[in-house]
Copies of this chain bind each other. A is one copy, B any other.
């Protein structure tokens, strides 16, 4: 086929992969490089006959375009930088899912960095990812070093700061108001008749959004002339075990608390487990309230009362908004993806 022309004459670098280049495909198809390039990108007019010949050559050689070269020659790299603090906490993989869903078949690929809730690490990652000349950048939260902020600002590309909307973004923020969510938690529980509030939380240094919810809750209680009876804080990341242990500790100190607000569903699930194991009746003896609306909470023997944040939606929306417009607009934008109170059976 194709006359079996020998394309071996060209001097080939002996480098990685020794992959087929546009030039080789062009030679085999007996057209110029640019014609092959045009056909592969569906750009500009091409004769059907030429297209067929070229596609055959592409097939025959097993050509895979080099996007490094493509990105360098044209403007965009076709990469999206994504920075999350953790993959352990299920909420971030869910944001990633949303990002992948929105990116599907766009020809763009996410390059993911994980900070481990460390702002220094984040700074290095931003620098590293910016070196790929990404089309855009998605980053969790507003907690950046001054230099990180400068780099993002100077990059000129679109920046989505996701998860929260309680601060002013560089470009666009997508998420929910954690402070308001905390406030609404308090109001909801007060309306349901609870008065003696406890709180079980995890490390705030790492998770500033948990702190915002706490602040909102405290503000709400204060507004109603109430306050937290007691709180138990775990010095580490949130986990089911931590929630279980901390609730045990809190109830040992304050047996007459009637509702405990947890920093998130993982912790709250642990609280539910403690109650089951210790034969404490949920809601009657003590009520439990979480945050996130994870699937696991709804599968518990008694469905967890909580607030559903929309992680998938956050990821998807961030990408959608960013792709709408390639250049960064003048003012900042805030997109509120909202939240809903999930009634459940534990509060």
Contacts and interface: CB of A to CB of B under 8 A. Distances in A.
B111 A17 contact: no
B241 A270 contact: no
Given A111-B79, A113-B109, A156 B68 contact: no
Contacts of A7: none
A92 B93 CA distance: 9
Stoichiometry, as copies per complex, reads: 2
Contacts of A133: 16-17, 19, 66-68
A88 B16 CA distance: 35
Nearest to A297: B240
A129 B114 contact: no
Interface in A61-117: 62, 64-69, 71-72, 75-77, 79, 87-88, 90, 92-94, 96-97, 100, 107, 109-114
Contact of A157 (B16, B155, B302): B16
Contact of A131 (B15, B66, B110): B66
Contacts of A67: 131-133
B62 A240 contact: no
Interface residues of A, number: 63
Given A87-B97, A240-B299, A296-B296, A68 B16 contact: no
A63 to B, nearest CB: 10
Which of A15, A114, A132 counts the most B-chain CB atoms under 10 A from its CB?
Answer: A132
A95 to B, nearest CB: 9
A275 to B, nearest CB: 9
Given A62-B154, A130-B64, A244 B15 contact: no
Interface string A11-52: 000011111000000000000000000000000000000000
A144 to B, nearest CB: 16
Nearest to A241: B299
Contacts of A62: 150-151, 154
A71 to B, nearest CB: 5
A94 to B, nearest CB: 7
A20 to B, nearest CB: 9
A1 to B, nearest CB: 18
Which of A113, A129, A298, A300 counts the most B-chain CB atoms under 10 A from its CB?
Answer: A300
Name the 4 nearest CB pairs between A and B, nearest first.
Answer: A240-B299, A277-B301, A17-B156, A87-B93
